[in-house]
Amino acid sequence: MKKIINYVGGKEVHCSKNFLPVFDPSKGEQIGDVVLSNDEDFSKTIESSKNAFSNWSKTTPLKRSRILSNYKSLIEKNIDSLAEIVSTEHGKTLDDAKGSITRGLEVVEFATGIPHLLKGEFSQNVGTNIDSWSVRQPLGITAGITPFNFPAMVPMWMYPISIACGNCFILKPSEKDPSCSIKLAQLFSEAGLPDGVLNVIQGDKKTVDNIIQTPDISSISFVGSTPVAKYIYEESAKNLKRVQALGGAKNHLVVMPDANINQAVDGIIGAAYGSAGERCMAVSVAVAVGNIADDLIEGINNNIQKLKVAPWTDTDSDMGPVISKDHKEKIEHYITKGFDEGATLIADGRNYKIQGYENGYFVGPTLFDNVKQNMSIYKEEIFGPVLSVIRVKSYEEALNLVNEHKFGNGTSIYTSDGEVARHFTTNSKIGMVGINVPIPVPMAFHSFGGWKQSLFGDHAMHGMEGVNFYTKLKTVTS
């Protein structure tokens, strides 16, 4: 059984003898053990980061950028093996895994521009013979705590920019799919990153609490569920740390009566069921406005029947398993609850079995019609392949639904009316908005982040928000 341990100071190390099993979700079999780091592991990680910071923060941005360029090439060369690691431990299809690594790679690419991105501002003669300028300096040791659903991409939203800004970075990956982070760190070392600038520490809540409580770490970037995001935000503030904590989601896609229905159906199928719905930008609610509802439901249901649910090793697979046995049971429980609460169950993904993979954590694509605002399948994040359709009479009613929901990560509208599209972009209380685009994920040079209970903190991730988050502003008057 493979042992997944820490990567500290350019080496794989561990002190703790405590391990947690790691599973292949397609087979439901244990494939490894991940170390649950203890206080000694944590102290050694901090020591290594502290040793690395002094030189790294003085390394010129141009040299840092060249190492990032090497890193980009190495990730490109190794994308197939990285994707296999992701698919084996997460279960998503290889195409999905590769796509997500590419999105992370684009952040590395953005971060290679760091000499330009760190240029400050200068004002001559703010007073007679007095000039003023501002610079952005590194924070010190920064940390990232990441979720299971994007084991490569989400860490890559964080550490390339932090490191490009002259910081050291400690990554605490999800304990459910921890191997990819080790490979990513090894490739960075191979690219020329000095030992200790990027350390990976495996663990659970105990390691997270160590990260929060130590005065040696300046900032925390978190992505995961809302209750944990809230905890990280509150505790980080108590410990006087800079924090960005991205949480859960319930993304609505509004379909207007004048929408191109085929486009809307295609968009919904990919966004609701891709990656088995385990994306924070997955569409989990389709809002059908007016008389389009029957055609929309029929189109979605027809397309669901064509989806192939299979392990990632089957190259025709459209959708793999969910992450764990517990999570499969939780999703199936929500489906039962939705039915009991009175929603119409059009496609039922419970008890989904695949020959040869009977113990895999598969849930079939599930579709509910006539979902109401007070139902738990509407109010709560399910994080699985379950789509709720809610019928409304007007655009105003649809916009109210979007705005009244406690989450505010992403939303989209399908319409051919420019005025409605513009009204929606201006008035939706959501961080990322799409017009005739199902998953409006911003590119690396823009920034990713939701509103309301989907993000606690002032900064979104990557783009200039990332550069600002990972640096402190200094203004000089001379």
What residue ranges bind ligand NAD (CB under 6 A)? 145-150, 154, 172, 174-175, 204-205, 208, 223-225, 228, 231, 246-249, 280, 381, 383, 409, 450, 454
Residue 149 or 179: the one with the smaller Cβ distance to ligand NAD is: 149
Min separation Cβ 151 and ligand NAD, Å: 9
**Least spacing, CB of residue 289 vs ligand NAD, in Å:** 26
| The residue type at 118 | L
> Which C-beta is closer to ligand NAD: that of 76 or that of 326?
326
A 10 A CB-CB count for 374 gives: 9
Q: In the bound complex, what is the minimum distance in angstroms from residue 461's beta carbon to ligand NAD?
A: 7
The answer to whether residues 7 and 185 touch, using CB atoms and an 8 Å cutoff, is yes
Sign of CA dihedral 424, 393, 384, 326: positive
Q: Which residues of 184-222 are buried (b: 16+ CB within 10 A; e: fewer)?
A: bbbbbbebebbebbbbbbbbeeebbebbbebebbbbbbb
Q: How many other C-beta atoms lie within 10 A of the C-beta of residue 2?
A: 10
SS3 letters across 186-241: HHHHHCCCCCCCEEECCCCHHHHHHHHHCCCEEEEEEECCHHHHHHHHHHHHHCCC
Q: Is 7 helix (H, G, I), strand (E, B) or coil?
A: strand
The partner residues of 367 in beta bridges, in order of sequence, read 347, 387
Can you tell me whether residue 24 is helix, strand or coil? Answer: strand
Report, in Å, the least distance between residue 153 CB and ligand NAD.
Answer: 9
The least CB distance from residue 428 to ligand NAD, in Å, is 17
Nearer to ligand NAD, 203 or 311 (CB): 203
Give me 151's structure tokens: 């084991």
Cβ neighbours of residue 309 closer than 8 Å, sequence gap 6 or more: 317, 318, 319, 320, 352, 354, 362, 364, 365
* Cβ closest to ligand NAD, residue 48 vs residue 454: 454
- Which residues are known to be catalytic? 280
For ligand NAD, the closer CB: 64 or 452: 452
**Nearest distance in Å: CB 299, ligand NAD:** 26
Which one, 454 or 471, has the nearer CB to ligand NAD? 454
Looking at beta carbons only, is 155 or 360 nearer to ligand NAD? Answer: 155
Question: Which residues make Cβ contacts (< 8 Å) with residue 172, sequence separation at least 6?
Answer: 143, 144, 145, 146, 200, 201, 202, 203, 207, 208, 211
DSSP reduced 3-state for 356: coil
Look up residue 183 and give its two tokens: 């490979």
Instruction: At 225, give phi and psi (nearest 5°).
Output: -75, 160
Q: How far is the CB of 147 from ligand NAD (least distance, A)?
A: 3
